[in-house]
């Protein structure tokens, strides 16, 4: 598998990692403390009885609607396999999106279609990745026209929304699968653990997806991370961190625009930018050299070519210290051209 992701690479953990979308104010201290207290000598409850009810109470849904997953990627592959096993052959992907949606569809032989009403499985993400924008097309009735269609909204970045509001009403969300991965909001992406909330009429689907899940998809550390996420103190910490991220984002945008970068609009703690002003072949080649230069100076950005945005990068919002390091390294690259 030759997947492209942000984060650590062959050179190790970047000193200033703009390539992931984790909360730069993290990690959440109480979650770290909970992880340190985990007793890894024992299995968690294989039914996750307490955790499942806690998640249900947090989202004000019935406990049967909670489907636990080893990670968001694991659930993406599992629900794609379930859709294919049911005889479906079509999938609708966002124009620019996380690569595992397409990778899972390819692995299970689904054909990508353009029109939502033709798709047995349709993916959305709000705020979207890599752009951090609203998934406004999901408010259109065409996404709901197939009564047998499976619609999954990836909510990975919903807790990290800095501006705007969801384009979906609660009644609409009840008819979608909602996929949640709180490790990003907590600044703990190395702890894998996720869950989905099933639509109100998906009892049989939940039974089938649970049957397709291996035993103990969550280890004790993932359980501790998710339980920490549910505490009121964690939600208060998140609110405070969002205010800090708003300030950092404004500074980061102003800095990059001062360097001549074209920054695209975003509602999240990350955004895309075009550092060299265009996406010509020469600019893309120069950008590749720039990213290599930056990486050897301890700074990593996410090349957005794999998202269908050549000539662009995706940047998470980081602290002013990291921003200044990026500006200095970029100016050094430009001076040496």
pLDDT tens digits, one per residue of 81-117: 999 999 999 999 999 999 999 999 999 999 999 887 8
Q: Is the pLDDT of residue 278 over 80?
A: no
Cα–Cα dist 45/51, whole Å: 9
Core vs surface per residue 248-263: b (16+ CB within 10 A) or e: bbeebbebbeeeebeb
Q: Please name the CATH architecture into which domain 16-24+234-335 falls.
A: Alpha-Beta Complex (3.90)
Least trusted range by pLDDT, from 102-111, 142-151, 223-232, 254-263: 142-151
Residue with tokens 């001076």: 335
CATH class for the region spanning 29-231: alpha beta
Residue 168: the pLDDT is 76
Residue 7 exposed, middle or buried by CB count within 10 Å (0-12, 13-18, 19+): middle
Cβ neighbours for 18, distance < 8 A, ≥ 6 positions apart: 299, 300, 301, 302, 315, 316, 318, 322, 326
List, by residue range, all CATH 3.90.1150.10 domains of the chain. 16-24+234-335
List, by residue range, all CATH 3.40.640.10 domains of the chain. 29-231
Global confidence as pTM: 0.94
At 301, list the tokens.
Answer: 């950005």
pLDDT tens digits, one per residue of 164-176: 988 876 667 788 9
Residue 272 exposed, middle or buried by CB count within 10 Å (0-12, 13-18, 19+): buried
């Amino acid at each position: 598998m030759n997947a492209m992701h942000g984060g650590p690479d062959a050179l190790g953990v970047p000193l200033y990692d703009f390539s992931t979308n984790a909360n730069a104010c993290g990690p959440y201290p109480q979650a770290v403390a909970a992880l340190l207290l985990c007793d890894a000598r024992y299995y968690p409850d294989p039914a996750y009885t307490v955790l499942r009810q806690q998640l249900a109470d947090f989202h004000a849904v019935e406990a049967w609607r909670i489907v636990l997953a080893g990670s968001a990627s694991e659930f993406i592959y599992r629900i794609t396999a379930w859709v294919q096993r049911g005889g479906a052959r079509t999938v609708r992907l966002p124009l620019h999106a996380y690569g595992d949606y397409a990778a899972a569809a390819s692995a299970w032989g689904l054909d990508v279609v353009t029109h939502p009403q033709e798709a047995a499985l349709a993916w959305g993400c709000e705020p979207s990745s890599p752009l951090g924008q609203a998934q406004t097309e999901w408010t259109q009735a065409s996404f709901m026209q197939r009564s047998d269609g499976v619609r999954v909204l990836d909510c990975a970045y919903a807790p990290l929304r800095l501006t705007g509001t969801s384009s979906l009403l609660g009644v609409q969300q009840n008819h979608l699968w909602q996929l949640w991965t709180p490790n990003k909001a907590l600044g703990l992406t190395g702890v894998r653990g996720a869950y989905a909330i099933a639509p109100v009429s998906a009892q049989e689907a939940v039974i089938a997806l649970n049957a397709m899940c291996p035993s103990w998809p969550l280890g004790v550390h993932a359980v501790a991370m998710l339980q920490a996420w549910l505490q009121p103190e964690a939600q208060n910490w998140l609110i405070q961190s969002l205010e800090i991220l708003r300030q950092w984002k404004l500074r980061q945008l102003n800095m990059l625009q001062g360097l001549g970068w074209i920054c695209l609009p975003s509602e999240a703690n990350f955004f895309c930018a075009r550092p060299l002003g265009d996406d010509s072949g020469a600019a893309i080649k120069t950008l590749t050299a720039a990213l290599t230069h930056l990486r050897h100076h301890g700074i990593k950005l996410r090349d957005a070519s794999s998202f269908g945005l050549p000539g662009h990068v995706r940047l998470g919002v980081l602290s002013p210290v990291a921003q200044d390091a990026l500006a200095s390294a970029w100016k050094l690259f430009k001076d040496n051209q």
